[in-house]
Chain A
């Protein structure tokens, strides 16, 4: 499905677990890098949201991890990996509204159970591999469509 296209940019961002002060910084940095590389605005927007949700999952649930950004001519890939507790039931975690967030996180507006659904909505392919007790790896692929009309890729509004 994915054609071989040359890699234009590769960058690794470490993410500190439980560090809400710095949470969100990788997402804004990823958007900055993508804009600088001339990536289409809609792709930058989608990648930013995918990155924020993935980053928040690492921050809220794990002792830490990293995010790898890969920019190709035809797609942007974000790979999130952590050494956290893992996701015992991935299908359940994909369902909107399901959350295992602690109360302190919910009070800050996290943990509404929309993180993984948001990642799915804003990527063209989302692979989740997880082993309880060992960690999780999530790979998100966002295709670059050069003549994409503004507003596509938005989540549905009820």
Chain B
């Protein structure tokens, strides 16, 4: 499914969205950066509570399709700026990790 369709279906708030046509096949939920680097697969959508600069670096290194900050968590302007530079998609979900992941799962694996 295209990322822009996922964003619309989940009602995500867009923070940085340079690549709306990326394909999303799966998701990954973790707040541990090394865990994401070890186990997330390229193209997955990452749900996290972390909101510092390294989130952008990890998403870029792992070639993820984007990052969803859950429970309405918002990163600072420096993070948005970095994501723009690196071409990393960033979103906010008002619902918590459990419910956001649940809705994403239903969408991708109906």
Bound together: yes
CA distance A20 to B54 in the complex (A): 8
Instruction: Tally chain A residues at the interface, Cβ within 8 Å.
Output: 27
Secondary structure call for the B interface:
helix
CA distance A154 to B34 in the complex (A): 13
The listed residue with most B CB atoms (<10 A of its CB), out of A21, A27, A56, A112, is A112
Contact, CB under 8 Å: B61 / A118: no
Residue of A nearest to B30 (CB): A109
Interface size class of B (residues with CB under 8 A): 20 to 34
Binary contact track B13-45/A, C-beta < 8 Å → 1, others 0: 000000000000000000111110111011000
**Residues 54-79 (chain B) with a chain A CB within 8 angstroms:** 54, 56-58, 60-63, 78
Is A49's CB within 8 Å of the partner chain B?
yes
Contact, CB under 8 Å: B57 / A24: yes
CA distance A36 to B52 in the complex (A): 28
Is B50's CB within 8 Å of the partner chain A?
yes
Contact, CB under 8 Å: A109 / B32: yes
**Given A24-B57, A48-B61, A52-B57: A112 touches B32 (CB 8 Å cut-off):** yes
Binary contact track A8-43/B, C-beta < 8 Å → 1, others 0: 000000000000110111011001000000000000
**Residues 118-158 (chain A) with a chain B CB within 8 angstroms:** 118, 121, 154-155, 157-158
Contact, CB under 8 Å: B39 / A155: yes
CA distance A151 to B33 in the complex (A): 20
Contact, CB under 8 Å: B34 / A110: yes
B91 smallest CB distance to A (angstroms): 18
B19 smallest CB distance to A (angstroms): 16
Is A82's CB within 8 Å of the partner chain B?
no
Contact, CB under 8 Å: A109 / B61: no
A interface residues, Cβ below 8 angstroms from B: 20-21, 23-25, 27-28, 31, 45, 48-49, 52-53, 56, 108-110, 112, 114-115, 117-118, 121, 154-155, 157-158
User: Given A27-B57, A108-B52, A114-B34, list of 7 further CB < 8 A pairs?
Assistant: A25-B57, A45-B63, A49-B37, A56-B54, A110-B33, A121-B38, A158-B39
